[in-house]
Amino acid sequence: MRFDLVDLQLFVAVAETRSITAGAARMHLALASASERIKRLEVALGVALLKRGRRGVELTSAGESLLDHARIVLHNVDALRGDLAAFASGARASVHLLANTSGISEYLPKALAAFLAEHPRISIDVEERESGEIARAIASGAADLGLAAEHALPEGIERIPFSEDRLVLVVPRQDELAGRRQVDFREVVSRDFVGLVTSSALHAHVSGHAAKLGARLRFRARLNNFDAIGQMVAAGIGVAVMPEVAGRRCARSMKIAVVRIRDSWADRRLAICARSFKALARPAQQLVEHLRKGARQLTSTSARPRP
């Protein structure tokens, strides 16, 4: 059974747009040519891939299966091209890593810097995504590795525990909540907030849970890092939700207090994830091992009693 990469690219385009016409346009093919390619693909496979209707097309069960495999094949081809191109520039390979806001801001910079220093011929392409998006990207083969909240990962994705990632409320030290150990998020949704920019994964996560309570958070300011947010909170501009590790770090130098959020969605654990760790290319496996060692160090550090 032989597959043409153009046919696979076309099929993915048709599946994503739910239209042969739109898929053909995306691939810069004539409609008749695109339609003939899809028909030949169905004949070669011996199954119907699409259900055609007046409003477009729907995937059959076989079509859904092909879509998953086609995305993986095309991702691997892109990775192959990238790795071979990297040889010309002196690099050996690259790893595509997705991480949520906490991972990118608090855990990965130091870990990745150490890894890249040890492996000068490996590069890492890091993107920030919400944990649910990371799970979908890993499942579809659109990325090599992820660092995401474990609760968002389905059973089919392999994972290695990395660290706790509890979300907390940060308030000015003089605030009435500063003396509380924990608070229900419902109690504070009507407050003024300081948060990350709207494109951040954490912003989407927190705003989504506010919406479930029937509230829309009111942001006085949006910034791009937790230190700037902490300074705004200390000045009394509003309260903020951030990872506990960031909140306690900021509290050491700023006049803010950290209050735990009682809601279950705030009690998160980060995990390194992949479709299959054994199937990863060697550079990605090396990165996994590096992050695994870092996770053990984080665990031993967090196990020490706080002063």
- Find the CATH number of the domain harbouring 33: 1.10.10.10
Residue 307 lies inside a defined structural domain of this protein: no
Q: 198: number of CA atoms within 13 Å, CB side?
A: 4
* E strands present in 129-217: 145-149, 158-164, 167-172, 182-183, 192-196
107 to 45, 53, 245, 272: CA distances (angstroms): 46, 49, 9, 12
Cα 92 versus chain centre, distance: 25
Residue 85 lies inside a defined structural domain of this protein: no
pLDDT confidence of residue 53: 86
- End residue of a domain, out of 14, 41, 75: 75
Residue 23 lies inside a defined structural domain of this protein: yes
Instruction: State the CATH number of the domain containing residue 248.
Output: 3.40.190.10
Indicate the number of domains in the chain: 3
Helix, strand, coil shares, percent, the chain, to 5: 50, 25, 30
Residue 201 lies inside a defined structural domain of this protein: yes
Q: What is the pTM of this model?
A: 0.63
Same domain, 144 and 200: no
Among candidate residues 244, 268, 226, 294, the one with its CA nearest the CA of residue 131: 268
pLDDT confidence of residue 298: 61
Same domain, 158 and 96: yes
42 to 28, 66, 72, 97, 162: CA distances (angstroms): 21, 11, 19, 34, 44
H-helix or E-strand spanning residue 101:
helix 101-102
Same domain, 127 and 159: yes
- End residue of a domain, out of 42, 75, 108: 75
Range of the domain at 63: 5-75
Residue 149 lies inside a defined structural domain of this protein: yes
Structure tokens at 131: 């944990």
Q: Mind listing the pLDDT tens digit of every residue in the chain (307 residues)?
A: 677 899 999 999 999 999 999 999 999 999 999 999 999 999 999 999 999 888 889 999 999 999 988 988 888 888 777 767 666 555 567 899 999 998 998 889 999 999 999 998 888 999 999 888 999 999 988 899 999 999 889 888 999 999 988 999 999 999 999 999 999 999 999 999 999 988 788 898 899 999 999 999 999 999 989 999 999 999 999 999 999 999 999 999 999 999 999 999 999 899 999 999 998 988 999 999 999 988 866 655 444 444 4
pLDDT confidence of residue 159: 95
Same domain, 244 and 297: no
pLDDT confidence of residue 200: 82
Residue 114 lies inside a defined structural domain of this protein: yes
Same domain, 68 and 114: no
Residue found by looking up tokens 């919400």 in the block: 130
